[in-house]
Amino acid sequence: MKTVAADPKGVDSGPHFMDGDHALAEGALAAGCRFFAGYPITPSTETAERFAERAPEVGAMFIQMEDELASIAANIGAAWAGQKVMTVTCGPGFSLMTENLGLACMTETPMVIANVQRGGPSTGLPTLTAQQDMMQARYGPHGDNMIIALCPDSPQECFDLTVEAFNLSEFYRVPVIILTDETVGHMHEKVVIPPADQIKIVPRNNYSGPKEDCRPYKFDSKGGHPMVRAGDGYNFHITGLTHNEKGYPVMTAEQNVKVVTHLMEKINSNADDIIRLDEDQIDGADVVVVSYGITSRIAVKAIQDARKEGIKVGSLRLITIWPFCEKRIRELTGKVKAFVVPEINYGQMVKEVERCAGSHSKVISVNHCGGAVHDPAVILDAIRKANQ
Amino acid sequence: MSTELGKFKAGSPMADVLRMDRMPHIWCPGCGIGSEVNSFADAVKRSGIDPKKLVVVSGIGCTGRVAGYVNFDSIHTTHGRAIAVATGVKLANPELTVVVFSGEGDLAGIGGNHLIHAARRNMDLVVICNNNFTYGMTGGQVTPTTPNSAIASTTPYGNYEYPFSLPFLMDAAGATYIARWTSVHSRNVTQSIEEALLRKGFSFIEVISPCTTLYLRRNRLGDGVDMLQHYQENTIIKHGADTRETAIDYQGKIVIGKFVDKNKPSYLEASDKCSIKLVGDDYQLYGKTIPEREAEEKAEKERIAARRAAMAAAEAQGEAIVPATTRKASAAKVKKAPAKAAATPKAAKKAAVKPVKKAVTKAPAKAAKTKFQSKIMPAKQALAGTKKAAPKAAAQAKSKSTKAVAKAAPKKTRK
């Protein structure tokens, strides 16, 4: 990935005391996002508010659309008109966005969507935390498709991972979802925004070659294919229909294989480059706690307590949730007695861990539904049980 | 067939603005969408705008396929979301001219919320709505504009809902340019689109058009030509009409014309004004100050004016060009169409009734110029607003038409 320094105009360098939602907006501006179409929904609204407030001075455009269907749709349009784009929402809004999330995947449109998760289903717990949309982010839109999802555990990471989300999104031309949660979104902490020249961003890569060679797509299971920008004279066509590399509809079984394989494999076959994990004392561990987002911070306390008791416990924090770190789990399977998977849902990512662990290691789910973070004692109990 | 097609492709006067590599298109013989696309292509040429800076966005459905056939930057979106996508395109690069071309089911049904909000914001978009009272692609279901009592596949015993009058809806929502025409008024459609392409704010152009395969057949209203004749005889041109009086009854009179054309700051103008108040003269959008953008806009306007002047000069010398060739081409198409259709067994059955129909098709084609100019298409005068002439002509047409219809097609009334 070719990177350049961030445009100082969008970078509010220095130490801040801000919550995760605001940090998402700052991350977007730092990454060069200049278009934000949003719709208010608790607990994500603050991101839209901050972007709206900052937009005039940065020279960006903010628009509050009539609903989430429209926000993500406007983002698709803006992306093809040359802007880096972002929107935020939570469960109910994300449900509406899945329609055009599918279109964004199909048309390989770079964009960042933050889902500040709250308890569901339906209207659920608008002001309380959850991690219940992990599978929705992956499997929300109909049809086979693949996205990238990142999971920050702090306001600082909300900033950092938003920049990274834009970089991945630009390179792989895929929607990148930031799966945070109400707790991180509303938690105020120190956030240090580096100087612009220390923030590496992947700039929009627009096609500039001869018209006859212009192809909006290249079905090669790789990243790095340039976008085509509206107004540059290439007369591109894009569609949600199964299409060829020129963007024209070709509705055959053979073409569907080509398109879908590319959409899946441009992420899956590059998973090693994409996936970021935060590992701690995994070598020689008997128990590995696999966690993400706010739950990983609760798990830290349980892990510390367990170590005091002499249990060899490691931590595997999933910064990249999708694509799932299959390879790493398979490597550890058989070497560790058990995986402990705490999460604020009825057990979602634990199924991925179980799938990769097979029958070689135990997998213990420490789930509880939305509304509150874990009590560290519950995770500690699970670690003890896992060590038996 | 391929060589014939090749000849057609090469010879089309619209070859530069249509994606000839995607022809033939999917639309049925007698459908109104093709002529609307032709009007649109013609309007783009006449307007003098830079085609490189034009983006066409469509939703889903028969009209949703327009984006795939026009040789501009074009986006075929999800069902109903064309206006939302177009909003993003326009706001992300204000230099672009953005046109939404879609059907009434897409725009006013599933996308109704985006339609009214774009009108409310006076978003800088041109929306061309093909209104054929039908969800064509899915087989002829009822739409938000299907007239009361009309039969659709999902209202098999007649539609008992109340339809939208789209001009009224758009007026109430805040659209600053509203026109309605029918498929038979292709030159008016062209002119309205041309006007809309050159103005700011939200423009809405409704084109009532025949869906021969589904709506007409299911309601036993004859074929495309019958419906064009119906439009010709049952439309009333009323510029500046009160949009509350533009409702369409089943096979009733259709009020057409340019209903609204007013100035109000567009979304971008309003947004700029707000930001400049806040930030001051240093305000930049995407790195450009307002004076810079205004200078670019002015230069573009001058280029457009120069192109238009050149076209007008060429036309005056009788050389040209776009409009004349277009007419020839469309006349040629009309001739060809029946021959093509006869190849299919269904059409062969139809051909049995040919003699009568031929007479019908030929007559208006010959008389087209006079009729179109006197009643249907008083081209420039019409848009300038010759209100008096229109109702008279319409009244005359009315007396003629009722007789003609009664004589020619007594069987074609619905069960």
Task: Give a yes or no: residue B306 inside a domain.
Answer: no
Handedness of CA A184, A188, A189, A195 (dihedral sign): positive
pLDDT of the residue at B13: 85
Chain B residues within 8 A of A60 when measuring between CB atoms: 285-286
Chain A residues within 8 A of B102 when measuring between CB atoms: none
Buried b (16+ CB within 10 A) or exposed e, A127-139: ebbbbbbbebbbe
Mean pLDDT, residues B25-29: 95
Mean pLDDT, residues B219-247: 96
Buried b (16+ CB within 10 A) or exposed e, B139-154: ebbbbbbbbeebbbee
User: In this complex, do B67 and A249 lie within 8 Å of one another by their Cβ atoms?
Assistant: no
For A325-334, B185-194, B327-336, which range has the lowest pLDDT when averaged over its residues?
B327-336
Chain B residues within 8 A of A37 when measuring between CB atoms: 87-88
Give me the percent of chain B exceeding a pLDDT of 90. Answer: 71
pLDDT of the residue at A75: 98
CATH topology of domain A4-201: Rossmann fold (3.40.50)
User: In this complex, do B84 and A85 lie within 8 Å of one another by their Cβ atoms?
Assistant: no
The 3-class SS string of chain A reads CCCEECCHHHCCCEEEEEEHHHHHHHHHHHCCEEEEEECCCCCCHHHHHHHHHHHHHHCCEEEECCCHHHHHHHHHHHHHCCCEEEEEECHHHHHHHHHHHHHHHHCCCCEEEEEEEEECCCCCEEEEECCCCHHHHHHCCCCCCCCEEECCCCHHHHHHHHHHHHHHHHHHCCEEEEEEEHHHHHCEEEEEECCHHHCEECCCCECCCCHHHCCCCCCCCCCCCCECCCCCCCCCEEECCCECCCCCECCCHHHHHHHHHHHHHHHHCCHHHHCCEEEECCCCCCEEEEECHHHHHHHHHHHHHHHHCCCCEEEEEECEEECCCHHHHHHHECCECEEEEEECCCCCHHHHHHHHHCCCCEEEEEECCCCCCCCHHHHHHHHHHHHC
Euclidean distance between CA atoms B58 and A17, whole angstroms: 45
User: In this complex, do A61 and B287 lie within 8 Å of one another by their Cβ atoms?
Assistant: no
CA distance B391 to chain A (A): 40
pLDDT of the residue at B12: 80
User: In this complex, do B77 and A76 lie within 8 Å of one another by their Cβ atoms?
Assistant: yes
User: In this complex, do B68 and A249 lie within 8 Å of one another by their Cβ atoms?
Assistant: yes
What DSSP designation does B18 have?
B
**pLDDT tens digits, A142-167:** 999 999 999 999 999 999 999 999 99
**A66 closest CB neighbour out of B57, B114, B278:** B114
Neighbours of B305 (CB within 10 A): 11
Chain A residues within 8 A of B284 when measuring between CB atoms: 59
Task: Give a yes or no: residue B57 inside a domain.
Answer: yes
**A100 closest CB neighbour out of B67, B74, B81:** B81
Q: Which two tokens stand for residue B234?
A: 């049952």
Domain that holds residue B254: 2-266+321-412
Chain A residues within 8 A of B81 when measuring between CB atoms: 69-70, 73, 99-100, 103
| Minimum CA–CA partner of B117 in chain A | A66
In the structure, what pLDDT confidence band is assigned to residue B246 with cuts at 50, 70 and 90?
very high
What are the φ/ψ torsions at residue B356 (nearest 5 degrees)?
A: -60, -45
- Under 8 Å between Cβ of A387 and A287: yes
The answer to whether residue B386 scores a pLDDT higher than 70 is no
CA distance A272 to chain B (A): 33
Domain boundaries, chain A: 4-201, 277-387
- Pairs of residues, one from chain A and one from chain B, whose beta carbons lie less than 8 Å apart: 151
**B78 closest CB neighbour out of A55, A99, A230:** A99
Task: Give a yes or no: residue B275 inside a domain.
Answer: no
Euclidean distance between CA atoms B122 and B170, whole angstroms: 11
- Under 8 Å between Cβ of B213 and B18: no
In the structure, what pLDDT confidence band is assigned to residue B3 with cuts at 50, 70 and 90?
low
User: In this complex, do A248 and B92 lie within 8 Å of one another by their Cβ atoms?
Assistant: no
Chain A residues within 8 A of B74 when measuring between CB atoms: 235-238
Mutate to test the interface with A, among B44, B55, B85 (most CBs of A within 10 A): B85
Chain A residues within 8 A of B91 when measuring between CB atoms: 35, 61, 63, 74, 78
Q: Which two tokens stand for residue A216?
A: 């909006």
The rounded mean pLDDT for chain B is 83
- Per the structure, the count of domains in chain B is 1
How does DSSP assign B97-115, residue by residue? Answer: EEEEEEEHIIIIIITHHHH
**In CATH terms, are A4-201 and A277-387 the same topology?**
yes
Task: Give a yes or no: residue B291 inside a domain.
Answer: no
- Given 3.40.50.12780, 3.40.50.300, 3.40.710.10, 3.40.50.920, which CATH number is that of A277-387? 3.40.50.920
Exposure of A284 in the CB half-sphere (CA atoms within 13 A): 5
- Under 8 Å between Cβ of A7 and A171: no
User: In this complex, do A248 and B68 lie within 8 Å of one another by their Cβ atoms?
Assistant: yes
In the structure, what pLDDT confidence band is assigned to residue B8 with cuts at 50, 70 and 90?
low
CA distance A63 to chain B (A): 9
User: In this complex, do A77 and B88 lie within 8 Å of one another by their Cβ atoms?
Assistant: yes
User: In this complex, do A56 and B279 lie within 8 Å of one another by their Cβ atoms?
Assistant: yes
**pLDDT tens digits, A334-381:** 999 999 999 999 999 999 999 999 999 999 999 999 999 999 999 999
CA distance B251 to chain A (A): 35
- Name the amino acid, one letter, at B252: G
User: In this complex, do A241 and B76 lie within 8 Å of one another by their Cβ atoms?
Assistant: yes
User: In this complex, do A74 and B95 lie within 8 Å of one another by their Cβ atoms?
Assistant: no
Task: Give a yes or no: residue B155 inside a domain.
Answer: yes
- Under 8 Å between Cβ of A195 and A212: no
Buried b (16+ CB within 10 A) or exposed e, B24-55: ebebbbbbbbbbbbbbbbbbbbbbbbbbebbb
Question: In sequence order, what are the beta bridge partners of B57?
Answer: B75, B100
C-alpha distance from residue A378 to each of A12, A15, A289, A348, A351 (Å): 40, 35, 13, 18, 20
CA distance A57 to chain B (A): 6
The label of the residue with tokens 């206006």 reads B83
In the structure, what pLDDT confidence band is assigned to residue B234 with cuts at 50, 70 and 90?
very high
Euclidean distance between CA atoms A342 and A179, whole angstroms: 16
The answer to whether residue B334 scores a pLDDT higher than 50 is no
**A237 closest CB neighbour out of B67, B84, B278:** B67
CA distance A247 to chain B (A): 9
Phi-psi region of B235 (alpha: psi -120 to 50; beta: other; left: phi over 0): beta
CA distance B261 to chain A (A): 25
pLDDT of the residue at B91: 98
Q: What is the pTM of this model?
A: 0.88
C-alpha distance from residue B215 to each of A38, B78, B349 (Å): 39, 24, 19
B402: contact with A, CB 8 A cutoff: no
Task: Give a yes or no: residue B284 inside a domain.
Answer: no
CA distance A370 to chain B (A): 32
| Minimum CA–CA partner of B19 in chain A | A235
pLDDT of the residue at B397: 46
User: In this complex, do B88 and A56 lie within 8 Å of one another by their Cβ atoms?
Assistant: no
CATH code of the domain covering residue B381: 3.40.50.970
CA distance B93 to chain A (A): 6
**pLDDT tens digits, B161-175:** 999 999 999 999 999
Mean pLDDT, residues B137-160: 97
The label of the residue with tokens 């080509």 reads A258
Scan residues 235-294 of B and list those with Cβ closer than 8 Å to A.
271, 274-275, 278-279, 283-287
Question: In sequence order, what are the beta bridge partners of B75?
Answer: A238, B57
B9: contact with A, CB 8 A cutoff: no
B19: contact with A, CB 8 A cutoff: yes
| Minimum CA–CA partner of A234 in chain B | B73
Question: In sequence order, what are the beta bridge partners of A318?
Answer: A277
- Between strands A200-201 and B54-58, the pairing is unpaired
CA distance B94 to chain A (A): 10
Report, as ranges of residue numbers, the positions in chain A whose pLDDT lies below 50. Answer: none
The ipTM, to two decimals, is: 0.97
Mutate to test the interface with B, among A235, A238, A244, A251 (most CBs of B within 10 A): A235
